[in-house]
């Protein structure tokens, strides 16, 4: 009798494990992105996540583990959708135009962001990276991906004569990355068109001097 009960219970567990998920993972991650993006990691409660995703806490934990792991997955998807795709779009353009198009999209996002969320990657670098070694490594790697894109553009631009030769490509790439982060942070408190466009314009002028 006892063995039969155990066997029945095991069968139920196997059926639950074999049951396909009744939600689209990408849709849930996109909802989690908006929640973490708006409130940050610390201020995003499990209740907020369940309200935003429409899943129960148990379903979230079963699918993604804990809140930290869900945040990591959401950040990775954010970078692929909002940063990776932008890089690929811009990479198809001539080098100098590619950098200009990249910053044009950044300015547009910053000036139309009514919630003043900024950039989730930059926000993570400010909130978690200083005291969390794992997220420091994650965000550093993601930011280096942007810097490599700039570096690639500057090397190609110097090779074809569209970008000034007098500046180090590595130095320009690091400088443009710092400008990008500064614009995204500043836009959260002063989303002023003339201010932000002026900062980017000055940075782009370095490519011609």
Give the up-direction half-sphere exposure of residue 206: CA atoms within 13 A in the CB hemisphere. 18
Cα–Cα distance for residue pair 153/162, rounded to 1 Å: 10
Distance in angstroms (rounded) separating the CA atoms of residues 73 and 62? 14
Q: Rounded to whole angstroms, how far apart are CA atoms 202 and 45?
A: 40
Give the domains, in start order, of the chain with CATH numbers.
74-205 (1.10.357.10)
Residue 20's pLDDT is what?
43
> Which letter does DSSP use for residue 53 in this model?
H
DSSP code of residue 166: S
Q: What percent of the chain has pLDDT over 70?
A: 89
Q: Which pLDDT tens digit goes with each residue over 70-108?
A: 999 999 999 999 999 999 999 999 999 999 999 999 999
Look up tokens 């779009």; give the residue. 89
| pTM, entire model | 0.85
Mean pLDDT of 161-180: 95
CB 103 within 8 A of CB 168: no
Report DSSP letters for 56-68, one per residue.
-HHHHHHHH-SHH
How confident is the model over 44-67, as pLDDT tens digits? 999 999 999 999 999 998 999 999
Predicted local confidence at residue 24, as pLDDT: 84
pLDDT at 21: 54
Distance CA(194)–CA(111), nearest Å, equals 10
167 confidence band (pLDDT: 50, 70, 90): confident
Please give the Cα distance from 30 to 36 (Å, whole number).
10
CB 150 within 8 A of CB 176: yes
Burial class (CB in 10 A: 0-12, 13-18, 19+), 118: buried
pLDDT score of 14: 40
Q: What are the CA-CA distances from residue 209 to residues 25, 155, 165, 206 (Å)?
A: 48, 16, 9, 5
Please tell me the distance from the alpha carbon of residue 106 to that of residue 172, in angstroms, as a whole number: 18
- Distance separating alpha carbons of residues 44 and 139, to the nearest angstrom: 19
**Rounded distance between C-alpha atoms, residue 9 and residue 129, angstroms:** 44
Give yes or no for residue 197 having a pLDDT over 80.
yes
For 17-31, the DSSP string reads: HHSPPSS-HHHHHHH
pLDDT at 208 over 60: yes
- Confidence label for 155 from pLDDT (cuts 50, 70 and 90): very high
Percent of the chain with pLDDT strictly greater than 90 = 84
Mean pLDDT of 130-156: 97
């Amino acid at each position: 009798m006892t063995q039969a009960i155990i066997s029945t219970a095991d069968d139920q567990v196997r059926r639950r494990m074999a049951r396909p998920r009744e939600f689209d993972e990408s849709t849930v991650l996109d909802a989690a992105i908006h929640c973490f993006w708006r409130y940050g990691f610390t201020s995003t409660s499990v209740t907020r996540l369940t309200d935003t995703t429409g899943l129960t806490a148990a379903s979230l934990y079963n699918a993604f583990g804990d809140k930290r792991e869900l945040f990591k997955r959401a950040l990775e998807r954010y970078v692929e959708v909002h940063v990776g795709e932008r890089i690929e779009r811009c990479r198809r353009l001539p080098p100098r135009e590619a950098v200009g198009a990249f910053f044009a999209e950044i300015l547009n996002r910053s000036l139309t962001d009514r919630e003043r969320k900024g950039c989730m990657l930059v926000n993570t670098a400010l909130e978690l990276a200083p005291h969390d070694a794992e997220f420091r490594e994650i965000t550093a790697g993601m930011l280096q991906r942007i810097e490599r894109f700039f570096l690639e553009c500057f090397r190609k631009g110097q090779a074809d004569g569209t970008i000034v030769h007098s500046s180090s490509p590595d130095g320009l790439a690091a400088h443009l990355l710092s400008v990008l982060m500064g614009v995204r942070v500043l836009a959260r408190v002063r989303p002023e068109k003339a201010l932000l466009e002026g900062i980017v314009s000055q940075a782009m002028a370095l490519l011609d001097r």
